[in-house]
Structure 1
Amino acid sequence: MPLSTFSSNQRIRQNFPRPVWLRTWLLVMALVLVCLGGWESFWRMHGYIPTVEDDLGLWAAIRRQANQQEGESVALIGSSRIQLGLNPDVFARTTGVRPLMLAIDGNSPLPVLQNLAEDPKFSGLVICGLTPQWLAESKTSKRRAAKWIRKYRRQKWSSRLETQLSAGIQQLFVFRFPGLSPARVWRRLINNERLKKVYAPMRMDRYRSADYSRTDLSRLKEAREKRSRQLASTTISLAPEAFKERVEQVHRWVESIEHRGGQVVFIRMPSTGTIREIEEAAWPRHRYWDVFAARIHGLTIHFEDYAVLSSFPCPDGSHLDADGAILFSEALVKLFQDKKLLLGYALDSSDY
């Protein structure tokens, strides 16, 4: 006769009471959410806002879109002046086409232009922000743009999914910004370094809206001017004959895009004050931009040549702020309309 009437299943349920484990997991989850919520609230109370970290994955996702719109894609290439200065929302509202931000901070647009020119699937409009430095510098291949172009085609599906999930979360939550990770915050506190707010947060479409009230503008401007002087003194510029060959190469890229039904427009974005003076001294307009504009097949727009584009101040000397970007974008699209550049797009002139 058995000493106990309990079955083995009953003994297991006694040893592992489900309600206790469930309550434990719920408590852990609640504590995690409370900690994350407190961390998020702390930074928001101190004026921090969400921003997406720029990387190869995000750029590659937008680059692939340029081949999926069958002739109606608009690619914005250049550096941070395009990222901060040309508002995609304004462009979409006034043309009916949302542009794709392929500009890369601190990088020449020429490798991206070459990539688009050599891609038989691309036949859209390229708006290229071009500074005299990018025209004149002798080496561009070692920069980030060239590396991203080489790698984006080999990106795995797992990496693509990870990019979308990560960027989506970063766009919603401040605490996902790498600069506010506990390890980095602790390191800055130990080294007695200031925690910097993001004054030009990036969206998932890679546009950056600049609010200079969120930073020490005088210090930022001083740093910009120092950096510009360094670039002017260290950049090795092409000799006249080599520069002419570069212009011819760009000309061939433009022709390749045009032969497929596309268009290319080059824009010299605004710079002001000391930075404009440094750029003009290092790369005189008559020696570089004017030579380029006279030879290139395609529209070239220098902001100083148009009253509607030349009156916008750059708070840091190099970039427009968010309000300036809206007005500049509206004026630029209107200029495109006047020059019949966007005949294939649904422009609405009633917006002006």
Structure 2
Amino acid sequence: MKHTPLRNALLLACGIVILFLIFWETYLRSTGIGISYDDGPELWTHKRSLVTKEQERATVFIGSSRNKYDLDIEIWRSLTGEDAIQLAFEGTSPMPVLDNLADDSLFKGKLVIDVTEMLLFSTNPEDSRLAKKGLDYYKNITPAQWFSFQVNKPLESKFVFLERDYFSIKALLKRIDIPTRAGMEKEPLFPIDFGRISFDRQNKMSDKFLKEISIQDSVKNIWSYYSRMGAKQPPPTQQSIDSIFQVIQKDVQKITARGGKVMFVRTPSSGIFLQIEQQIFPREHFWNRILSVTGAPGIHFMDYPEQQLICPEDSHLSPTDAITYTKSLVKVLETEKGWSFPNKTKSN
């Protein structure tokens, strides 16, 4: 078949694109970056769709990023014999997802709620944005969007460059270091080694992150930035805090009335982060009150020496410590809280 100039040009362009992608993928892998999934509303919707289907053999986890780092899902599965459906969002209050599960008359399974007080009791709309975006996608997903996810899922498991949050054109442009104007402060971006994400929506720090103190310090600086930004916001009023307690109470009662089980967990933090949390959110006024108004049980890491772990950047556990924490969590759930699982947990 005779090639036309246009056909030759198209073939050349395709060849250049393929060669570039091969080079780009090879380069990324040479830096030690592994596969990480896009943790957008698409993947969250997939996990949310499993809740009622799998509730007889799974526990649902909601909250913020500490649940995503601190729960080792593979260890959870091996110890309990059941799945863990991770519905937490980074930097986000669990309230929108808790409301959604409470209003789902089909949900009557086991639910673990991570209590990160500064997010749970936040009245800043930004601290609920990701959850509301995920819920909106879940409620309005189209057949085309579902099909796109099914196609993209196996591709993401093979190619590093498909990671949207770091290697899309938009993400690469966002990471260009452009000087800010005097008096302006640019929102910092998390280093790629801080959190690689599995298809189960579990976050793990990379080995590089755990070895290099400078990268850990960069994340601590991000916490400082958000602390400064938070200080500029009006603090929640006592009325708004009381309102949040009332909603939590109502939602928990809805779930337990259907036969569901709810467990609150206070996941570990350390260093200056923990000191600030203890000062702003004293345990007796927040954690204790949650358990009191809901009547639900809770597991606070400060009550268990094996859970009092040091977070590399003061707020999330390393992969190794996540295993330790998950083993302790399962043990306490079984031996103290009366939860039963398909597997008999052995003391570790």
TM-score grouping bracket, smaller chain normalisation: 0.7 to 0.9
Question: Residue 184 of structure 2 corresponds to which residue in structure 1?
Answer: none
* AA of the residue aligned to 2:167: L
> Could you list the per-position Cα deviations for residues 191-234 of structure 1 after superposition, in whole angstroms to 9, with x for gaps in the alignment?
49999433311112211112263361122222223323543553
Alignment of 1:1-352 (within 5 A): 16-17=1-2, 32-139=17-124, 143-178=129-164, 179-181=166-168, 185=172, 188=175, 191=178, 196-211=191-206, 213-214=208-209, 216-231=215-230, 234=233, 236-239=235-238, 242-310=240-308, 312-343=309-340, 345-350=341-346, 352=348
Where 2:56 maps in the other structure, the secondary structure is: coil
Where 1:332 maps in the other structure, the secondary structure is: helix
Work out whether residues 70 and 123 of structure 1, in 8 Å CA contact, stay in contact via their aligned partners in 2.
yes
Where 1:50 maps in the other structure, the secondary structure is: coil
Give unpaired runs (5+ residues) of structure 1: 1-15
Q: TM-score with structure 1 length normalisation?
A: 0.84
Task: Please give the alpha-carbon distance, in whole angstroms, between the structure 2 residues aligned to 1:190 and 1:100.
Answer: 37
CA shift at 1:275, angstroms?
A: 0.7
Pair 1:128–1:100, CA change in 2 (3 A): same
RMSD: 3.0
CA shift at 1:297, angstroms?
A: 1.7
CA shift at 1:290, angstroms?
A: 1.8
CA shift at 1:182, angstroms?
A: 5.7
CA shift at 1:167, angstroms?
A: 3.6
Task: Please give the alpha-carbon distance, in whole angstroms, between the structure 2 residues aligned to 1:226 and 1:195.
Answer: 12
Work out whether residues 245 and 293 of structure 2, in 8 Å CA contact, stay in contact via their aligned partners in 1.
yes
Work out whether residues 76 and 127 of structure 1, in 8 Å CA contact, stay in contact via their aligned partners in 2.
yes
Give unpaired runs (5+ residues) of structure 2: 180-187
Task: Please give the alpha-carbon distance, in whole angstroms, between the structure 2 residues aligned to 1:184 and 1:237.
Answer: 33
Matched pairs, number: 333
Question: Residue 7 of structure 1 corresponds to which residue in structure 2?
Answer: none
Task: Please give the alpha-carbon distance, in whole angstroms, between the structure 1 residues aligned to 2:291 and 2:7.
Answer: 70
> Could you list the per-position Cα deviations for residues 163-193 of structure 1 after superposition, in whole angstroms to 9, with x for gaps in the alignment?
2322432232111123224675477568499
CA shift at 1:41, angstroms?
A: 0.8
Task: Please give the alpha-carbon distance, in whole angstroms, between the structure 2 residues aligned to 1:194 and 1:287.
Answer: 33
Work out whether residues 137 and 235 of structure 1, in 8 Å CA contact, stay in contact via their aligned partners in 2.
no
Task: Please give the alpha-carbon distance, in whole angstroms, between the structure 1 residues aligned to 2:110 and 2:190.
Answer: 40
CA shift at 1:148, angstroms?
A: 2.3
Where 1:71 maps in the other structure, the secondary structure is: helix
